[in-house]
Amino acid sequence: MEQIVINGGNKLYGDIYIDGMKNAALPIIFACILTGDKCVIENLPPVSDINVSLEILRSMGAGVRLLNKTTAEIDTTHIVGGTSPDDLASKMRASTYLLGAELGRFGSAKVGAPGGCDFNSRPIDQHIKGFEALGATYKLENGHICLDAENGLKGTTVYCDMISVGATCNIMLAATLAEGTTVIENAAREPHIVDLANFLNTCGADIYGAGTNTIKIRGVKSLHGCEYTIIPDMIEAGTYMAAVAATGGRVNIRNVIPKHVESITAKLTEMGVCVEEHDDYISVSSNSRINRANIKTLPYPGFPTDMQPQFAALLCTAEGVSTVSEGIWDHRFQYVNELRNMGAQFMVEGKSATIIGTDHLSGAKVKSVDLRAGAALVIAGLAAEGQTIIENLQTLDRGYYDIVGKLRGVGADIIRRPIIKASSNHLAK
């Protein structure tokens, strides 16, 4: 068990390099199942969700070899459908991608209940609706989600009732090897949807329109392996952009696609932060207290829900009163008590919050309740006076590689150390 210790107040200067995007890499790793061949995936972020995904494939009989820290060779020739271990599947939400991938490759799927960040309810009815429209039957058996397409999958039009990243990816996975053409209407448009389509097309799929709200998938008979590089993580980039805005200083955030962070750039600019876009990096600089702002999270290209906690932390330090309205998840304010412990003035009502900015957050001992909440606490700790200690780091490790090293590299006073329990101290004496 470890904790992060931050002595706040340092301005940040230098360069931060962004890793590959977790939420693009996850569906692509599971999409390898459809190829029944060898794929080499580059720019995988070395975070725990990726390790768990690779471990799931390995335990199902895939050959998985790490060629270096960010490149994996995945050979799914001999993988056996329906054999993912429940304890691994329950560690993350992305194990739902096994449903579409197994169904597409084997005509059936069996997966234990998925886990992931806890936002109260995370239904998968739209995934199931899509699979059923393609010809699969669905049942829950001893806590497992089971799908069966006895007569094969047949292309059709699926209209998603709401915009869902997971359902769009999963229907795309199932439809790639189906007979005929599938059209996904009201599809998600996130860059990771485009990345999954690009990966599948590189493997021989015929997918058109990813990045718009209508995706057309013409089923093909088989796929082949390929080499593929995952896009940079726009949420990791946005997190460091918010950190610089909170502390002041000047940082070049490198290995990013500036277009993907446009909504974040626009909001920071509105707050008085200077953001300069270059080909593959962004310079963020700030020398004064940020202005208040209103934020509403929406599906891409709107402001991302996965940046909501980090920006809420930033707005705690703004001049004036800000509002944050969560448009995707019903319960994504579970972190506010931790920020209140640091002096933030935060009122939450349902899916909206009002934040009264203060110029003196103060360090405290806090707990990360989920992945982006952990990042928000890091940002608050960097901006606060005094020492902040953050625990429950396994939440943060799911999606940020070496956040401590990257921030220390630009001048933050931040370390990660083992938690020394009072009782073991006592025994040692």
Which residues make beta-bridge pairs with 261?
A: none
**CB of 194 or CB of 290, closer to ligand EPU:** 194
Among 107, 166, 249, 258, binds ligand EPU (CB under 6 A): 166
Beta-bridge partner residues of 348: 353
Q: Considering only CA atoms, which of 382, 409, 359 is closest in space to residue 247?
A: 382
For ligand EPU, what does the binding mask look like between residues 350 and 379, x meaning CB under 6 A? ---------------------xx-------
- Residue 338 binds to ligand EPU (criterion: CB under 6 A): no
Candidate segments 2-10, 145-153, 160-168, 208-216, binder of ligand EPU by CB under 6 A? 160-168
Sequence-separated (6 or more) residues with CB below 8 Å from residue 428: none
Whose tokens are 């459809």? That residue is 34
Question: CA–CA distance from 155 to each of 132, 146, 224, 226, 402 (Å)?
Answer: 11, 20, 21, 25, 43
| DSSP state letters, 385-429 | BSEEEEE-THHHHTT-SSHHHHHHTTT-EEEEEE---HHHHHHH-
Q: Which residue is nearest to ligand EPU (CB)?
A: 166
Give the strand pairing for 63-68 and 12-17: unpaired
φ/ψ region of 144 (left if φ > 0, alpha if ψ in -120 to 50, else beta) reads beta
Binding to ligand EPU (CB under 6 A): which residues in 297-326? 305-306
User: Is residue 164 within the footprint of ligand EPU (CB under 6 A)?
Assistant: yes
The answer to whether residues 172 and 189 touch, using CB atoms and an 8 Å cutoff, is: no
- The tokens describing 167, both together, are 């359902």
Q: Does 8 bind ligand EPU (CB under 6 A)?
A: no
Q: Which of 198, 234, 233 is nearest to 215 (CA)?
A: 198
| Tokens 């999954």 -> residue | 196
Cβ burial 408-429 (10 Å sphere, 16+ → b, else e)? eebebebebeeeeeeeeeeeee
Which residues, listed in sequence order, are joined to residue 253 by a DSSP beta bridge? 16, 282
Nearest to 310 by CA among 321, 295, 300: 295
To the query of whether residue 316 is one of the catalytic residues in this protein, the response is: no
32, 39, 117, 169: the catalytic one is: 117
Instruction: Pick the binder of ligand EPU from 42, 63, 329, 402 (CB under 6 A).
Output: 329
CB of 420 to ligand EPU, least distance (A): 30
Which member of 134, 167, 223, 264 binds ligand EPU (CB under 6 A)?
167
Binding of ligand EPU by 17 (CB under 6 A):
no
Nearer to ligand EPU, 364 or 373 (CB): 373
Residue 93 in the binding site for ligand EPU (CB under 6 A): yes
Among 28, 234, 328, 383, binds ligand EPU (CB under 6 A): 328
Give min distance, CB of 23 to ligand EPU, in A.
Answer: 3
CB of 302 to ligand EPU, least distance (A): 10
Does the footprint of ligand EPU cover residue 260 (CB under 6 A)?
Answer: no
> Three-state DSSP class for 208?
strand
Q: Can residue 125 be called a binding residue for ligand EPU (CB under 6 A)?
A: yes
Q: Binding segment for ligand EPU among 30-38, 116-124, 268-276, 339-347 (CB under 6 A)?
A: 116-124
Name the site residues for ligand EPU (rule: CB under 6 A): 23, 26, 93-94, 117, 122-127, 162, 164-167, 305-306, 328-329, 371-372, 399
Catalytic residues: 117
